[in-house]
Structure 1
Amino acid sequence: MNFASDNVSPFCPEVLEALSAEASHNAPAYGGDDISQQLDRAFSEMFDTDVAVIPVATGTAANCISLSALVTPYGGVVCHHEAHINEDESTGVAFFTGGAKLLPMDGPTAKLEADALDAFISGQVNRGVHSVAPECVAITQATELGTVYTPAEVAAIGEVCKKHDLRLFMDGARFANAVAHLDCRPADITWKAGVDAISFGATKNGAMAVDAIVLFDTALKSRVEQARKRSGHLHSKHRYLATQLLAYVKNDVWLKNAAHANQAATALANILVEHRGTLAHPADGNELFVKLAPELADRLRAAGVLFHAWPSLGADIYRFVAAWNTDIAQISTLKNTLG
């Protein structure tokens, strides 16, 4: 049972079938194919508004290329200190934006809170050209600690951004898990709440290798496409990225996969809590952060369960991540294994 990451999972049957169907013929390159031309329409229907979709192969590219269209090279991006763009993407934001600076702040369970965000932005010292002015706020949905922003929480952050004339970006690597948890329309936690752009994750949840930049401000499309080309992320065989995305969103495969991953995480959490594990905070999506007695952690490892220690949250806290293909029936066998 591999709970090290949802990145360890394979791509789902729907994506494999779609790729196989596209593997037998030629098609125009660089997005000129028929499949790529369907993306904007498919995602516009899903988000209940006109959007522009730009596929890239990695989440880092999706995040950083998006931000390059939302901030200037001398601007600032306010984010949580746990944010993936701050902790796990090296200097990617500065590289892709040409120098923009991350301005990390704190908040419970990796979430920004509107009032604290307002105070943080208002408290930035303006020394003209000698300082960095915030130009964008970046939030993660679901967060790096597995929690989920409600529609009201995103909307409150959107209002703060509007007050200070800032852009709002959403890192949606696990956006599907958040929507499945909230049982809401994707629009409710994106453009209706003030989000300008989102990196729509697919790789962690059943795709082979693709995330989508989804722009609610469609006027940014040309700028993002130029940034994608300049950074080396325009695929010549663009249709294979588009094929993955269309298969992923068709018939709500993305939501079904995410709902299964969330359910698997809940099943695992229940068993760990039964054996005196303690959740570090509510588990909204497919990630668990659990405090385990050392002997319980050892017994899990002996049973072949893979997971990671997470010392930044404290001693004996571990992260478990369920995926779209996690076998819930196999999780139930842990009851007998652990006694």
Structure 2
Amino acid sequence: MPVNFASDNAAPVAPKIMAALQRANNGAAPSYGHDGLTRQVEDKLRDLFECDLRAFPVATGTAANVLGISSFSPPYGAVFCHPLAHIDNDECGAPEFYTGGAKLVPVAGADGKIDPRALEEAVLEGGGSVHHVMPSVISITQATECGSVYRPDEIAEIGILAQKHGLALQMDGARFANALAFLNCHPADITWRVGVDVLSFGATKNGAMGVEAVVFFNMEKAREFEFRRKRSAHLFSKMRYLSAQLDAYLEAEYWRELATNANRMAERLADGIRGIPGATICYPVEANIIFAKLPEAALECLAVSNILYHRRANDTDGKIRLVTSWNTTEQDIDALLNVIS
């Protein structure tokens, strides 16, 4: 059987989440989010973040991101993001489509994080002129596509900048649980307390079958979002099957248990790679993603093994991406290290 390091999306459903789906399948329940599970999920998220909020389950990370962003950006808006951000590379123009034409403006920074100084320069460059798109939203990814994690003070600096210029701050939290497991801080410390208006609260990459929650800390936009979700075909009639996943995910911090294993396995794998002559780790390993440059001999062995991994077509310097998951084991790590050592 192949050993998966290609993507956390390839991992199976975590047992408690699968069991929750089976329980939700007993009998009838009100439709379109009027069921008890959906209300319970919102209450659990309020408890988790220790604030009032609105939360809306959707089926995909792309839907969570673009519907959240479109709630704050007009068609003539500018959405600032890192050049490696998922919304700029892997969402097929969905942000532009759902905002009605807003422009994504990449802002560089080390290790997948937006540089605040470069961000302010980009915001000021065309702001106020009808000949340019209007600065509207800043989107950050936590944990980043490189596997690094924003610290609370880093998000706060961007949050202050957003408030200064009247911009919304959106967080792509597809791997939010991995970031929290690494930081070991309160969820509020990297969201609403530091200026985040809307969060894509990810679960699919961390053991769910397929669900994310769009969490609004800025309550003004929540009512409008209900219409956006319906119009985009993401208001599920049988919403309880999405909410059942989130309910189990949030119960007794199951999300943390799952993410902690993924992070711990990534750290173990990174330590092993560092011991291979000629191998290097490209970015800080702070979540469950590792980018590594391997010697050609190691790549050749990997190519004929049963190890699944990701290598971009334009990466010709030996760089690969390895992703650990909630169910990655020490035996999986050892199997990979034995192949490339």
Q: Tell me the TM-score range normalised by the shorter chain.
A: over 0.9
1:74 to 73, 76, 85: 76
Say if 1:246 and 1:183 are closer, same or farther in 2 by CA, change over 3 A.
same
Q: 1:206 — aligned with what?
A: 207
**Residues 336 and 209 (structure 1 numbering): CA distance in 2 closer, same or farther, change over 3 Å?**
closer
Deviation, structure 1 residue 336: 4.6
Contact 1:94/1:101 (<8 A) preserved: yes
Give the aligned partner of residue 322 of structure 1. 324
Instruction: Answer yes or no: is 1:231 the counterpart of 2:232.
Output: yes
By how many angstroms is 1:127 displaced?
Answer: 3.0
Report the Cα distance in structure 1 between the residues aligned to 2:18 and 2:336, rounded to whole angstroms.
Answer: 31
Q: Is the partner of 2:220 in helix, strand or coil?
A: helix
* 1:132 corresponds to 2:127: no
**How far apart are the structure 2 equivalents of 1:32 and 1:336?**
51
Partners of 1:66 and 1:143 in 2: CA distance: 18
Q: Structure 1 residue 263 and structure 2 residue 264: aligned?
A: yes
- CA 69–337 in structure 1, closer or farther in 2 if over 3 Å, else same: closer
Shift of 1:39: 2.0
TM-score (norm 2): 0.96
Q: Which moves more between the two structures, 116-125 or 212-221?
A: 116-125
**Aligned match of 2:92:** 90
Partner of 2:145: 144
Cα distance in 1, alignment partners of residues 83 and 32 from structure 2: 36
SS in 2 for 1:235: coil
Q: C-alpha separation between the residues in 2 aligned to 1:155 and 1:116?
A: 16
Letter of the structure 1 residue corresponding to residue 180 of structure 2: V
Name the residue aligned to 1:243: 244
Q: CA deviation at 1:63?
A: 0.3
One-letter amino acid of the structure 1 residue matched with residue 244 of structure 2: T
- Measure, in 1, the Cα distance between the counterparts of 2:316 and 2:338: 29
Q: Which runs of 5+ in 2 are unaligned?
A: none
Give 1:260's aligned amino acid.
N
> Post-superposition, which runs of at least 4 consecutive aligned residues in structure 1 deviate over 6 A?
none
Query: How far apart, CA to CA, are the structure 2 residues paired with 1:338 and 1:233?
Result: 43
**Which whole-Å CA distance do the structure 1 matches of 2:158 and 2:143 have between them?**
15
Shift of 1:72: 1.1
User: Is 1:5 aligned to residue 2 of structure 2?
Assistant: no
Q: Is the 8 A contact 2:178 2:287 kept in 1?
A: yes
Measure, in 2, the Cα distance between the counterparts of 1:36 and 1:70.
24
Contact 1:113 1:153 in 2 (8 A): no
Which residue type is aligned with residue 122 of structure 1?
L
1:121 equivalent to 2:109? Answer no
Report the CA distance between 1:281 and its aligned residue. Answer: 1.5
Q: Which moved more, 1:118-127 or 1:212-221?
A: 118-127
1:252-300 Cα offsets, whole Å, 9 max, x none, are 1111111100111111111122113200121111000001011112223
C-alpha displacement of 1:301: 3.3
TM-aligned CA distance change 1:312 to 1:186, over 3 Å: farther
Give the distance between the partners of 1:134 and 1:183, measured in 2 at CA. Answer: 33
Give 2:284's aligned residue.
Answer: 282
CA distance in 1, matches of 2:335, 2:88: 38
Report the 3-state secondary structure (helix = DSSP H, G, I; strand = E; otherwise coil) of the residue aligned with 2:307: coil
Contact preservation (8 Å) 1:308, 1:318: yes
* Distance across 2 between alignment mates of 1:310 and 1:73: 32
Pairwise CA distance, 1:306:
1.3
For residue 40 of structure 2, the aligned residue among 38, 46, 66 is 38
Q: Matches of 1:323 and 1:52 in 2, distance apart?
A: 29
Q: How many Å separate the matches in 2 of 1:178 and 1:283?
A: 11
Q: Identify the range of structure 1 (31-40 vs 324-333) with the bigger mean alpha-carbon deviation.
A: 324-333
| RMSD (Å), alpha carbons | 1.4
Conserved 8 A contact 1:181-1:285: yes
Which one-letter code corresponds to 1:227 in the other structure? R
Q: TM-score, normalised by structure 1?
A: 0.96
1:209-243, CA deviations, whole angstroms, 9 ceiling, x for partnerless residues? 10110000122221111000001110000011111
CA contact (8 A) 2:77 2:103 kept: yes
